């Protein structure tokens, strides 16, 4: 099971838990472009912190793989390649 699924399962099972509150805030921040206090992550026990890092890693991977599959990353590279050598990058 993906760490994101594990985190969501824990949040559903214990909606009022301190750890689950931090995991919920992390997921909401990632999905909405919001923010989270890093200090809240550091207060987690080791297994919960590892889970939070797994959520971050999974989100990052899915976002970058999705971008590459949709051709957005390929487009960005081709735009850079078309710029004249030595020209300032906008």
Residue 24 domain-assigned (yes or no): yes
Residue 35 domain-assigned (yes or no): yes
Contacts of 84 (CB under 8 A, 6+ apart): none
Q: Dig out the tokens for 70 from the structure.
A: 């949709």
- Total domains in the fold of the chain: 1
The C-alpha atoms of residue 47 and residue 36 are separated, in whole angstroms, by 19
What's the pLDDT score for residue 86? Answer: 53
Residue 51 domain-assigned (yes or no): yes
Please write the tens of the pLDDT for every residue from 26-60.
999 998 999 999 999 999 999 999 999 999 998 88
Contacts of 34 (CB under 8 A, 6+ apart): 28
Residue 45 domain-assigned (yes or no): yes
Residue 22 domain-assigned (yes or no): yes
Residue 88 domain-assigned (yes or no): no
| Domain region containing 75 | 3-82
Residue 90 domain-assigned (yes or no): no
Phi/psi zone of residue 2: left (φ > 0), alpha (ψ -120 to 50 degrees), beta?
beta
Residue 87 domain-assigned (yes or no): no
The pTM score is: 0.69
């Amino acid at each position: 099971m993906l760490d994101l699924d594990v985190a969501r399962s824990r949040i559903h099972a214990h909606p009022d838990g301190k750890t689950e509150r931090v995991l919920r805030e992390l997921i909401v921040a990632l999905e909405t472009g919001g923010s989270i206090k890093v200090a809240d992550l550091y207060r987690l026990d080791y297994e919960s912190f590892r889970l939070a890092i797994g959520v971050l890693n999974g989100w990052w991977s899915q976002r970058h793989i999705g971008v590459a599959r949709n051709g957005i990353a390929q487009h960005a590279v081709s735009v850079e390649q078309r710029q004249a050598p030595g020209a300032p990058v906008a």
